[in-house]
Structure 1
Amino acid sequence: MENGSMTLTQEQKQAVVEFVEIINHTRKVQNKTIISPSIAVKFLCARKFDVARAITLFKQHEETRLREGLFGFNCSDKLLKTELQTQKFTILPTRDSTGAAIAIFTARYHIPHLSSHQTTLQGIVYQLDVALENIKTQKCGLVFIYDMSDSKYANFDYDLSQKILTLLKGGYPAKLKKVLIVTAPLWFKAPFKILRLFVREKLRDRVFTISLPQLIQHIPKESLPKHLGGTVDIEHNKWLAYCLNSMTNSDKYGNSAMSDHICNSNNTKKDSVPDPKVNNLIKENDVDEECAIVKNNLSSTWSCNTVNLREESSPMPPSSVSSGFSDDDSLHCDSSQSLTISQFVDYVLKKKRAGLIKEYEEIKTRSPDGTFSAARIRPNLLKNRYTDVLCYDHTRVLLAQSDKDPLSDYIHANFVDGYKQKNAFISTQGPLPHTCVDFWRMAWEQQVLVIVMTTKVFECGKVKCEQYWPPEESSEDQVYQNFKISTISINQFDNYAVTRLQVLNTNTNEVRRVSHFRFNSWPDFGVPHSAVAMLDFLGKVRKCQSSMLQDLGDKWAGHQRGPPIIVHCSAGIGRTGTFCTLDICINRLEETNTVDIKGTVERIRSQRAYSIQTSEQYVFCHLALIEYALARGFLSSPPDLSDLKPLDDSD
């Protein structure tokens, strides 16, 4: 883009010509107004200049507008004016780090019996039409935030939500980059499952249910309004004035079919002369010259979608929040490195222990796949248990900021993907005395059901982890600011203990149950001599997560496998990484009869630095998986694994 214009390649110009010829041929036969190249570019931009897909979008767009009464509506109409002034839908004067425009629908402002579907959709389309006149929005697309903060069931309109999704998913000429459903109430799960059916498959992994603290992992803080944790003041009235000014002073769509639906306010002239400040307008009959599209930047104190970020700013890190729609947005999906279980056994027998250790050392010597800036900020250094085990920036769990302290969002914890589940785990260190409150804040905000602890409180005469829960049923409740932790029951088994905890949030008086699994059979040095105990433990954890999720019913609105499981040892990388590796590999084996330990470890380490801390843990994962395969009948006979006997090593 140069000077507010989009420079098209020769192929793109040809696509514009083809689109215009096909559409206008049909429209002439139907005695309809022909479209201009500027209209063609909007639809082509939205479909990567694929002519066939853009034509389909154009037809769906017209059908949607006709069906929902979105042609020829009058923005001076009292109902529409009232709708626009509710501020339930607005376009921010900022963008995300990719340049996409940001639209917000605030659910709590929607009162279904006071606003018809048609009026609400008219208010949305009226504003989107103006926003889409900006060249950068055409090029970079749109992020849609559905803010459910403080909303009630009475604010939710399922049919309207379906219509909005239908419009955005394939009936509007803009790239929909993401849909961010913020602070979804627990009752939202049931309609959410049905709504996913109306979203195109390719879009499903771009629809996220997230908490408020997670929003800044998608959109920079400086681009968000203050009520969503950002720094921007929403000036909705100025935006509406800009919309009216844009409609009044320029024929936005040129001589096009779309001009029929422009708001017919008394000041709007269908054939008005474009504002002289708008340059590079497309001429109707010269496509080669026309393909520098105008940037609509009227002289207004509030300019549509001005960018507060520097153009050279680096892109935001990968999202670390859970997708509510897709099972396939995890790093651990299909893998080109996968081996069948029989190939895997042959591979292990050929490598032997020395070969696997060499393979691990090669992985270990690679540089980290991210930065540790937040973990190295001086106040945050005190929240890290070990100075040489830091927390990646791009996958770290962000806490809700408290008391306007920008550093209060830090906890030494990273999201780690599971098999076909983004952020299935939170890998974290054993809490310190002064970070227990942050630990319980994290568990509460992420709606955690299960905590897995693979270390003891004391090992080798050292404190490995703070006792962050009451150790006995008769123990006094432990209080961490507004969280009161009670031990309801303890069940001791040969190799592990399961403690049922009650967590009371004294700010809201809400009570939740959390199951705490503590594995006791990992020796002070080395790895377990047999994987049976660990595999049994892992199975019990998964069964408990599934049972507790089922008990929640429609109170859970996220991924079908439930919220993330917190996993920790002392540092949060050795035994923790081993647990996550085995869980991922077992799930892959069960579904595909294939194994990929090396690739799994590499991907885990890209999200939680240094995971799988020792070569013996790496070898143990191979032995454990073979042991699991034997027990579950994936192998017909046990191989000779004497060359892989584990040596002593520490976590």
Structure 2
Amino acid sequence: MTENTATKQFLEEINKWTSQHGVSPLSWDVAVKFLMARKFDVLRAIELFHSYRETRLREGIVKLQPHEEPLRSELLSGKLTVLGVRDPSGASIALYTAKLHHPSKTGNHVVLQALFYLLDRAVESFETQRNGLVFIYDMAGSNYTNFELDLSKKILNLLKGAFPARLKKVLIVGAPVWFRVPYNLLSLLLKEKLRERVGTHTMCKSCANFHFWLIWLFLVYVLNPLFSSFVAFCDCIISFVICSQVQMVKMGDLRQHLPRDCLPEHLGGCLPLDVHSWNLQLLSEQNGRVDPVDELVGIPLENTSIHIPGPEVMSLAELMAHLNRAQRSGIYLEYEELRREQPPGTFTCALAAHNQERNRYGDVLCLDQTRVRLKARRNERSDYINASFMDGYKQKNAYIGTQGPLEKTYGDFWRMVWEQSVLVIVMTTRTDEGGRRKCGQYWPKEEGGQEVYGHIAVVNHRVDKHAHFNQTTLELHNTERQVTHFQFLSWPDYGVPSSALSLIDFLGAVKHQQQWAVQAFGSQWRGHPLDPPMVVHCSAGIGRTGTFCALDICLSQLQDVRTLNVCQTVRRMRAQRAFSIQTPEQYYFCHTAILEHAQRQGLLSANQ
């Protein structure tokens, strides 16, 4: 594919997205910047674009205004700059001076703003886009009070996969002993692991163990207060070390990596560098400059799905390799790590005494931040229902994940369906399983049946029975609104379907009906252009519900950009419907079901 063809394809895909949000299309020059960073691989460039935007949104960096405080002072502090000269390969050189950072005085938000601004300026140059970026992390003269773990991790993660520049290398120079020892320990252990992988041994295991214990004793008895922070920091740089992008060098060795006359005086160069004056000149050249991506970044978060391609995506081949390498036990451990993560929110409303009876299970609650609120009615004490908005792939509030309705909540359930313009209900449980009631019979089961729930009458017009599911056409009386109810019948509680493809076929039928229903709904729907939410529930509304939604999100991304990430999808989903996916077997099933679907579609050969 030529560069021009790749750029046209990239713009076509991205500008479908911009048109949905009513913002200006991306320019050719900006598209080339993202494509250059990924060697004109269109799919990877699209992922990079969304990662860049997602990172800025997450950090609250919507508009970069360098002439306003506190960003102006941060830019003139000398802490960050892009040098006016290049390395021998033509790469730009960005410099971060750690000793000038004082966490008690400057927050991470301002530092990251300055970093985004300066790096954005650097990659405006076609030469930098083509030849890449070298990042120098200068720790000379710094002490532990200048080091901030969270900021360092964010800088490295930004450089690693969320910024449109080819990262050539990261040089950590002048590292004090409190930083150098943990880093060297990590490098030693990683090198040993890499040697094991390629089957060569240049250091005997006993020597490696001896070195390990010497350094461990140093950490425990000398640097104990710092150790936990460095373990976390080392986790962040593992991938850099493996691919040799991060190198720790001494001052005098810098000339082996960079020309001597391009370095600031305090880094051993012969030319003094006044960073304040340099950045001041940079600012003066940019009066009235508008970041061409600001408008896209500025789309409010509430209109943006959390499920967009991120930096840690996998191709189908990579997913299969991961599954083969980890095996079932490794995927179970991956799930266990997710399970231990605490939900990022509160459960105040769900725990209120007057709402307790509305929860089917006392330990399955709704986060305050994502719960569905019933519209206020006179003399009603609560707007609570055990239901949560959940994003789909590139779609805000694609689902409402909820519990199986209780008899006392039937009226609330149908109110929610009406108020949220729901057209499709997905039920992944039977009403009774193993002699226990899992969900109430909240709709008229027989054709021609009619029931009144609260103020809403529901009529059963038709039941279509299939091998693994029933499809029931319902009508909400006095409103002339049709709702389709799907019930999947082949999924045991706490288990997985006996056939992954039967569930995926069921998912296809659900999505087809949703698309048809929205077209029929016509101008009555004024919400998200990708349809109103569909209700998805099982008994608790987290196990089978979470598995169904995770599969839909992953398969939608696979269809769109040929990549996915099950772990990332589930983590994000659990941030909205807490505890989604209840068992390691359900998590493992997501992986195998995706691969079965891919093989059936011819996306992955059976012998891979």
Q: What TM-score, normalized to structure 2?
A: 0.52
* Amino acid paired to 1:341: L
String of CA shifts for 1:485-538, please: whole Å, max 9, x gaps.
Answer: 00000000000000000012xxxx322000000000113562122201100000
* Amino acid paired to 2:602: G
Is the Cα contact below 8 Å between 2:410 and 2:454 reproduced in 1? no
Measure the CA separation in 2 of the matches of 1:441 and 1:474: 22
Q: 1:622 corresponds to which residue?
A: 591
Aligned residue runs from structure 1 range 570-585, under 5 A: 570-585=539-554
Deviation at 1:204, TM superposition (A): 7.5
Measure the CA separation in 2 of the matches of 1:480 and 1:451: 16
String of CA shifts for 1:65-109, please: whole Å, max 9, x gaps.
Answer: xxxxxxxxxxxxxxxxxxxxxxxxxxxxxxxxxxxxxxxxxxxxx
* Amino acid paired to 2:492: P
Deviation at 1:444, TM superposition (A): 0.4
Q: 1:120 corresponds to which residue?
A: none
Q: Which runs of 5+ in 1 are unaligned?
A: 1-6, 16-47, 50-198, 207-317, 324-328, 640-651
- Please state whether the residue corresponding to 1:435 is helix, strand or coil: helix
String of CA shifts for 1:174-214, please: whole Å, max 9, x gaps.
Answer: xxxxxxxxxxxxxxxxxxxxxxxxx99538833xxxxxxxx
In the alignment, which of 399, 402, 417 is matched to residue 374 of structure 2? 399
* CA spacing shift, 1:613–1:524, aligned 2, 3 Å: closer
* Amino acid paired to 1:560: P
Is the Cα contact below 8 Å between 1:456 and 1:464 reproduced in 2? yes
Deviation at 1:558, TM superposition (A): 1.7
In the alignment, which of 327, 336, 339 is matched to residue 352 of structure 1? 327
String of CA shifts for 1:190-241, please: whole Å, max 9, x gaps.
Answer: xxxxxxxxx99538833xxxxxxxxxxxxxxxxxxxxxxxxxxxxxxxxxxx
- Please state whether the residue corresponding to 2:355 is helix, strand or coil: helix
- Please state whether the residue corresponding to 2:408 is helix, strand or coil: coil
1:469 and 2:443 matched: yes
* CA spacing shift, 1:495–1:8, aligned 2, 3 Å: closer
1:423 and 2:397 matched: yes
Is the Cα contact below 8 Å between 1:488 and 1:501 reproduced in 2? yes
Q: 2:349 corresponds to which residue?
A: 374
Measure the CA separation in 2 of the matches of 1:624 and 1:587: 14
What is the alpha-carbon root mean square deviation over aligned residues?
Answer: 2.5
Aligned residue runs from structure 1 range 499-518, under 5 A: 499-504=472-477, 509-518=478-487
1:495 and 2:468 matched: yes
Measure the CA separation in 2 of the matches of 1:352 and 1:203: 39
Measure the CA separation in 2 of the matches of 1:637 and 1:9: 59
Identity, % of aligned pairs?
Answer: 46
* CA spacing shift, 1:554–1:637, aligned 2, 3 Å: same
Measure the CA separation in 2 of the matches of 1:525 and 1:11: 52
Is the Cα contact below 8 Å between 2:448 and 2:459 reproduced in 1? no
Aligned residue runs from structure 1 range 230-379, under 5 A: 319=302, 323=303, 329-379=304-354
Deviation at 1:332, TM superposition (A): 0.5
* CA spacing shift, 1:351–1:553, aligned 2, 3 Å: same
* CA spacing shift, 1:638–1:379, aligned 2, 3 Å: farther
1:540 and 2:506 matched: no
String of CA shifts for 1:430-480, please: whole Å, max 9, x gaps.
Answer: 0000001110010001000000000001111111111010000132x1101
Measure the CA separation in 2 of the matches of 1:371 and 1:560: 30
Q: 1:65 corresponds to which residue?
A: none
- Please state whether the residue corresponding to 2:559 is helix, strand or coil: helix
Q: 2:268 corresponds to which residue?
A: none
Measure the CA separation in 1 of the matches of 2:71 and 2:579: 47
Q: 2:603 corresponds to which residue?
A: 634
Q: 2:251 corresponds to which residue?
A: none
* Amino acid paired to 1:626: L
Q: 1:262 corresponds to which residue?
A: none
* CA spacing shift, 1:510–1:358, aligned 2, 3 Å: same
Is the Cα contact below 8 Å between 1:500 and 1:514 reproduced in 2? yes
String of CA shifts for 1:108-155, please: whole Å, max 9, x gaps.
Answer: xxxxxxxxxxxxxxxxxxxxxxxxxxxxxxxxxxxxxxxxxxxxxxxx
* Amino acid paired to 1:427: G
* Amino acid paired to 2:299: D
1:437 and 2:411 matched: yes
1:383 and 2:370 matched: no
- Please state whether the residue corresponding to 2:354 is helix, strand or coil: helix
Aligned residue runs from structure 1 range 28-107, under 5 A: none
In the alignment, which of 470, 477, 485 is matched to residue 458 of structure 2? 485
In the alignment, which of 275, 278, 299 is matched to residue 205 of structure 1? 299
Measure the CA separation in 2 of the matches of 1:631 and 1:438: 41
Measure the CA separation in 1 of the matches of 2:601 and 2:489: 24
* Amino acid paired to 1:496: F
Measure the CA separation in 1 of the matches of 2:465 and 2:563: 34
Measure the CA separation in 2 of the matches of 1:204 and 1:510: 38
String of CA shifts for 1:581-633, please: whole Å, max 9, x gaps.
Answer: 00000000001111200000000000001100000000000010001111111
* CA spacing shift, 1:11–1:449, aligned 2, 3 Å: closer
- Please state whether the residue corresponding to 2:407 is helix, strand or coil: coil
* Amino acid paired to 1:402: R
- Please state whether the residue corresponding to 1:539 is helix, strand or coil: helix
* Amino acid paired to 2:423: L
- Please state whether the residue corresponding to 1:382 is helix, strand or coil: helix
Q: 2:528 corresponds to which residue?
A: 559
Is the Cα contact below 8 Å between 1:569 and 1:576 reproduced in 2? yes
Query: What is the aligned length?
Result: 328
Measure the CA separation in 1 of the matches of 2:406 and 2:73: 61
Deviation at 1:552, TM superposition (A): 1.7
* CA spacing shift, 1:379–1:14, aligned 2, 3 Å: closer
Measure the CA separation in 2 of the matches of 1:635 and 1:382: 48
Deviation at 1:550, TM superposition (A): 1.0
In the alignment, which of 405, 408, 422 is matched to residue 448 of structure 1? 422
Is the Cα contact below 8 Å between 1:501 and 1:513 reproduced in 2? yes
- Please state whether the residue corresponding to 1:510 is helix, strand or coil: coil
* Amino acid paired to 1:497: N
Measure the CA separation in 2 of the matches of 1:607 and 1:555: 27
Is the Cα contact below 8 Å between 1:357 and 1:616 reproduced in 2? yes
* CA spacing shift, 1:14–1:594, aligned 2, 3 Å: closer
Q: 1:591 corresponds to which residue?
A: 560
- Please state whether the residue corresponding to 2:473 is helix, strand or coil: strand
Is the Cα contact below 8 Å between 1:630 and 1:638 reproduced in 2? no
String of CA shifts for 1:146-180, please: whole Å, max 9, x gaps.
Answer: xxxxxxxxxxxxxxxxxxxxxxxxxxxxxxxxxxx
- Please state whether the residue corresponding to 2:480 is helix, strand or coil: strand
- Please state whether the residue corresponding to 1:347 is helix, strand or coil: helix
- Please state whether the residue corresponding to 1:595 is helix, strand or coil: coil
Measure the CA separation in 2 of the matches of 1:497 and 1:430: 17
Q: 1:601 corresponds to which residue?
A: 570
Deviation at 1:366, TM superposition (A): 1.4
* Amino acid paired to 1:335: G
* CA spacing shift, 1:13–1:331, aligned 2, 3 Å: closer
Q: 2:181 corresponds to which residue?
A: none
- Please state whether the residue corresponding to 2:481 is helix, strand or coil: strand
Deviation at 1:347, TM superposition (A): 0.6
